[in-house]
Amino acid sequence: MVPRSTFGRTGHQSSRVIFGAAALGAMSAERSAVTLELISEHGVNHIDVAASYGNGRAETNLAPWLTANRTSVFLATKTGERTGPAARRELEASLERMGVDSVDLIQLHNLVEPDEWEIAHARGGAVDAMFAARDEGLVRFVGVTGHGRRIPRMHVRSLAARDYDSVLFPYNHSMLGWDDYRRDVEELLALCAERNVAVQTIKSIARGRWGDGDVKKFSWYEPITDPAAIARAVCFVLSQQHLFLNSTSDARLLPLVLAAAAGDLRRPEDAAMTADEERHGITALFDGAALERI
């Protein structure tokens, strides 16, 4: 079984692997049901979805499972809208697609670009709208997410502006090899620890960007597929007791991630991680500009 830990100030005992429901966005209803049964069997009780995953299909595929399991799971979704009215409409559409009256966590999706940040945080913007939805009982908590090399620094800015309950950003050995990224991550983690903000990580088993001639499947990036390397990548994240790992959108690899999370979570040696990077051609996904908006 996947171990659990307190998800920040929410008080929820969340599985340390959070199911990244982007995986459901390209699935049939039948395949979605099988995948959701798999995570249930491994004790995963926290689901992270977004209005944009599969143009809403991921949320739609969750709905039948939630009918019987809503009270046993911490349910998070995201809005990519930046103005208040649009964010409110997107939240309401998410609730309707999933057939629920409320979600536990609503997140501002990929809030990394300064111009979008200003719109979202302006009076009457998406941030005000989501905190108002919290006050109405449509959501319980509000968080912020993001991709790319700049996002830890932007999360620090976001936490200075509003009292968010959670953050989400990339965390893996290759990206932490950048001195500037590691410093920004360390600053963000210290702030989150001080304020009891839950910390979610993504791209734990990313191998790199697809090449021009690659056949792209299930995920916009190429994941690691070697079981031993996946296990080390998972342990690299989960050896940090305060971190949660959001699973990959390539559900074929989900059993390997879950098995690693249920095992020995001691931190791998840096030499072993470096050897994996060399052996499997693992490279950092982001460079500070390209792919930041994904």
Q: What is the pLDDT of residues 33-57, one digit of tens each?
A: 999 999 999 999 999 999 999 999 9
> Which pLDDT score, from 0 to 100, does residue 222 have?
83
pTM exceeding the 0.75 threshold for the entire prediction: yes
Asked if residue 188 belongs to a domain, the reply is yes
Whether the CA torsion 9, 156, 104, 147 is positive or negative: it is negative
Q: Which residue, 158, 164, 92, is CA-closest to 131?
A: 164
Domain that includes residue 137, residue range: 4-280
Q: Quick check: 274 pLDDT over 80?
A: yes
Between the CA of residue 170 and those of 111, 121, 142, 152, what are the distances in Å? 13, 23, 19, 9
Tokens, residue 262: 């249920």
Q: Which residue, 37, 42, 41, is CA-closest to 16?
A: 42
Percent of the chain with pLDDT over 90: 88
Asked if residue 286 belongs to a domain, the reply is no
Task: Report how far residue 158's alpha carbon sits from residue 169's, in angstroms, rounded to the nearest whole number.
Answer: 13
Tokens, residue 261: 């999370």
Q: Quick check: 31 pLDDT over 70?
A: yes
Contacts of residues 30-35 at CB distance under 8 Å and 24 or more positions apart, as own/partner, are 32/61, 32/62, 32/65, 33/64, 33/65, 35/251, 35/254
Number of domains in the chain: 1
Averaged pLDDT, 185-195: 98
Whether the CA torsion 125, 149, 9, 141 is positive or negative: it is positive
Averaged pLDDT, 128-147: 98
Averaged pLDDT, 269-275: 97
Q: What is the pLDDT of residues 73-132, one digit of tens each?
A: 999 999 999 999 999 999 999 999 999 999 999 999 999 999 999 999 999 999 999 999
Asked if residue 285 belongs to a domain, the reply is no
Asked if residue 114 belongs to a domain, the reply is yes
Averaged pLDDT, 262-286: 93
Averaged pLDDT, 213-227: 75
Asked if residue 244 belongs to a domain, the reply is yes
> Which pLDDT score, from 0 to 100, does residue 285 have?
79
> Which pLDDT score, from 0 to 100, does residue 209 have?
79
Show Cβ contacts of residue 134 under 8 Å, excluding neighbours closer than 6 positions.
106, 140, 141, 142
Averaged pLDDT, 222-240: 96
Asked if residue 262 belongs to a domain, the reply is yes
**Residue 248, Cα to own-chain centre: how many angstroms?**
9
> Which pLDDT score, from 0 to 100, does residue 291 have?
61
CATH number of the domain where residue 94 is located: 3.20.20.100
Task: Report how far residue 178's alpha carbon sits from residue 115's, in angstroms, rounded to the nearest whole number.
Answer: 26
Grade residue 249 by pLDDT with cuts at 50, 70 and 90: confident
CA angle 122, 123, 128 (to 5 degrees): 95
Task: Report how far residue 244's alpha carbon sits from residue 20's, in angstroms, rounded to the nearest whole number.
Answer: 11
**Residue 67, Cα to own-chain centre: how many angstroms?**
23
Show Cβ contacts of residue 122 under 8 Å, excluding neighbours closer than 6 positions.
none
Query: What does residue 220 show for φ and ψ, rounded to 5 degrees?
Result: -75, -15
> Which pLDDT score, from 0 to 100, does residue 69 have?
96
Torsion of CA 212, 217, 220, 222, to 10 degrees: -70
Asked if residue 294 belongs to a domain, the reply is no
Grade residue 208 by pLDDT with cuts at 50, 70 and 90: confident
Task: Report how far residue 106's alpha carbon sits from residue 75's, in angstroms, rounded to the nearest whole number.
Answer: 9
Show Cβ contacts of residue 159 under 8 Å, excluding neighbours closer than 6 positions.
167, 188, 191, 192, 195, 197
Asked if residue 293 belongs to a domain, the reply is no
User: Which of 36-50, 147-161, 272-286 is least confident?
Assistant: 272-286
